[in-house]
Amino acid sequence: MKVIQIARPNELKILEKANPVTDQKNNVLIKMTAAGICGSDVGIYHGTNAAAVYPRIIGHEMVGVVIETEANATRLKKGDRVIINQVTSCGHCYPCGINRGNVCDNLAVRGVHIDGGYCEFMAVPEADCYVLPETLSDIDAIMIEPTTIAIQSCTRAELGKDDTLLLYGYGALGSSILKIARLMCDTIIVADVVPEKLEEAKKNGAKYAVDIIRDDFEAKIKSYTGGRGVTVSIDAACTKDSLMKTLVATGNAGRIVTMGFSTQAVEINQFLITSKELDIRGSRLQNKMFAKAIELINAGTLDLTGSVSHTFPFLEAQRAFDFIDTKDPSIRKIALTFGA
């Protein structure tokens, strides 16, 4: 089979590898049909993802069809369309023991620490596969994985109906979070630097929009919250000053969720944290959220259709990554597609 491997930063290779075979652990064989390109994949390609281990077959938004099963696979059958969980955990460390396997002490993420979905076939445990909703195409189904990340962040934030949420950043991550947050919270403020994105956010459920560059950020937040600040902030921009901005914007006893993976030092202010008694929480990957995302889709509550803006054939991955680097404003989400 052919695979896409990042040999080292900025070096993408198409390689030939032996087809995987199933065993008692990896008891289902999946023929890949679609895989998403995430910002973290771009980070691995460019060498800015601190978690990546090279060389690596990347890809963690992985959709395919079951073509073979072992006898001990009892839930899936040949022909089932599935999405594959990117998180693998040990099951016996402290985080696993408190049901937080997404930060397992021995965490291995497909496409980051171990090989992922930019390959023609994968052998994986049946337990890591989730049957896709019939209403969702393979291409649109890659968006289930980003949705699980969004559910995780809102869960970590303990977001509730009466909260006022600041969603700082409205890129691919922020737009996924908004789709979930609007189901849980009535008042959402989106902040971004691109006016067109802010208009889109308001159409998609944000009550207010703040232009970080052109508006007086702090004054706008105060005007929308009766002067006290938001109760919850989610930093989906992950820039050098975004955490500090959320510290300023969040009111007393509020919660702040960070999602960035940069190792660069950022400015914070301990007085703001201590005096307001803020909770600052990280949100990484997702913790068993695939079933919840699929439940929302099947219920008609969540619509992921039309989120992918561009598709490229799997073997044209280099062209897809080059296109992403152009920063073309039409890019929302890119999917790689696999031949029949």
* pLDDT tens-place string over residues 91-141: 999 999 999 999 999 999 999 999 999 999 999 999 999 999 999 999 999
CA distance readout (Å), 121 to 18, 112, 125, 188:
10, 17, 13, 41
Amino acid at 161: K
Q: How far is CA 248 from CA 25, 117, 130, 169, 269, in A?
A: 49, 40, 40, 16, 9
* CATH number for the domain running over 148-282: 3.40.50.720
The domain locations on the chain are 2-143+304-337, 148-282
**CATH superfamily ID and name for 2-143+304-337:** Medium-chain alcohol dehydrogenases, catalytic domain (3.90.180.10)
Residue environment code for 295-314, b if the CB has 16+ CB neighbours within 10 A, otherwise e: ebbeeeebebeebbeeebeb
In whole angstroms, give the CA distance from residue 113 to residue 109.
Answer: 5
For every residue of 170-215, DSSP letters joined together read: -SHHHHHHHHHHHHH-SEEEEEES-HHHHHHHHHTT-SEEEETTTS
- Residue pLDDT, tens place only, 10-24: 999 999 999 999 999
Spell out a b/e string for 133-165, using b for 16 or more CB atoms within 10 Å of the CB, else e: beebbbbbbbbbbbbbbbbbbbbbbebeeebbb
Tell me what pLDDT residue 299 has.
96
pLDDT in tens, 155-205: 999 999 999 999 999 988 999 999 999 999 999 999 999 999 999 999 999
- Take residue 268 and report the two structure tokens written for it: 């914070």
pLDDT of 291: 97
Q: What is the pTM of this model?
A: 0.94
